[in-house]
């Protein structure tokens, strides 16, 4: 049995100190989970297995939590279950009690004071379990599972509000809105690097980049140099998996064994996972 030798909170601190980002891969089933973990172990990279509320409903909380617990025993790299864009405080509490070790409370659709109030409830509860808490200030546009934010409703993070927000909520990491979006981009994304620099000057905790699918590697690595310590990847994983699956089934219309037709999707997904780990500069960090 392999034992975790670092907590999620300690991992975030290590990433900030050594200037890499923890890749957070959104998982949806056993096949994606195993593909992520096999690649992470191969490259000796820590990872977060991220689950949105939709994924929790689809997989079932007990199955999800226990699959991650098995991964922690089977793979020789740090891995944690991360709750991604969860809005229900009660659901977060229940999943923390079941074993989630990193959580994101997303109250970014509320006004500043309400966001603080809700986030503070989660940090107060999470401290009892030594669970890392992420929150968002500002709002990303785009679509991720059940979360849909129109571009007109997206808001950039205010650097000076960020400092107050971090101080009053006592969160462990801050998701920033600097021009990224969930899903893939139409055209070249315009990322506000100067805003990220300003936030990093005002805030000492690790920063998080959402909406990284489709961003150029050099741009992501520049954000890591400026304080980003966690990068979320979701859409590119799904696209790779379904591309491999669809190609195989088109070429083999009579195929009926998932052990065969899942494999091309898994192989393509692993290639994306490897690219993103290298992009995050997290490879070799746990060797």
Q: What is the pLDDT of residue 215?
A: 82
Pairing of strands 102-105, 147-149: unpaired
Structure tokens at 277: 């780990």
Mean per-residue pLDDT pooled into runs of 10, the chain (287 residues): 77 96 97 98 98 97 97 96 97 98 95 96 98 88 44 70 96 91 56 93 95 84 96 94 97 96 97 97 89
Catalytic residue among 84, 106, 145, 172: 84
Expressed in angstroms, the distance from the first to the final Cα of the chain is 18
Rounded to whole angstroms, what are the CA distances from 237 to 178, 233, 244, 248? Answer: 23, 7, 11, 17
Note if 61 is an active site residue.
no
Q: What is the pLDDT of residue 151?
A: 46
Q: What is the DSSP string of 132-197?
A: EEEEEESB-EEEETTEEE-GGG-BPPPHHHHHHHHHHH--SEEEE-SS-EES--SS-----HHHHH
- Which CATH architecture describes the domain 8-280? Alpha-Beta Barrel (3.20)
Q: What is the pLDDT of residue 152?
A: 40
Domain ranges of the chain: 8-280
Q: What is the pLDDT of residue 191?
A: 84
CA 185 – CA 59 distance, rounded (Å): 28
């Amino acid at each position: 049995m392999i034992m975790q030798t670092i907590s999620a909170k300690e991992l975030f601190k290590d990433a900030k100190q050594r200037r890499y980002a923890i890749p957070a891969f959104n998982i949806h089933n056993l096949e994606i989970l195993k593909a992520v973990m096999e690649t992470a172990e191969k490259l000796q990279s820590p990872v977060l297995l991220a689950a949105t509320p939709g994924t929790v409903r689809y997989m079932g909380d007990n199955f999800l939590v226990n699959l991650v617990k098995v991964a922690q025993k089977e793979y020789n790299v740090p891995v944690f279950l991360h709750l991604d864009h969860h809005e229900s405080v009660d659901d977060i509490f229940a999943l923390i009690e079941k074993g989630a070790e990193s959580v994101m409370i997303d109250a970014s659709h509320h006004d500043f004071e309400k966001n603080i109030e809700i986030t503070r409830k989660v940090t107060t509860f999470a401290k009892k379990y030594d669970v890392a808490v992420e929150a968002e200030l500002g709002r990303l546009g785009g679509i991720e599972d059940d979360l849909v934010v129109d571009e007109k409703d997206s808001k950039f993070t205010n650097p000076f509000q960020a400092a107050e927000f971090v101080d009053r909520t006592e969160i462990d990491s801050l998701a920033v809105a600097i021009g990224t979006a969930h899903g893939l981009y139409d055209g070249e994304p315009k990322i506000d690097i100067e805003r990220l620099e300003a936030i990093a000057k005002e805030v000492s905790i690790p920063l998080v980049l959402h909406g990284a699918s489709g961003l150029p590697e050099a741009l992501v690595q520049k954000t890591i140099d400026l304080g980003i310590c966690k990068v979320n990847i979701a859409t590119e994983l799904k696209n790779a998996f379904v591309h491999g699956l669809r190609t195989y089934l088109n070429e083999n219309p009579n195929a009926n064994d998932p052990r065969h037709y899942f494999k091309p999707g898994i192989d393509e997904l692993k290639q994306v996972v490897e690219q993103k780990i290298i992009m995050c500069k997290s490879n070799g960090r746990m060797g």
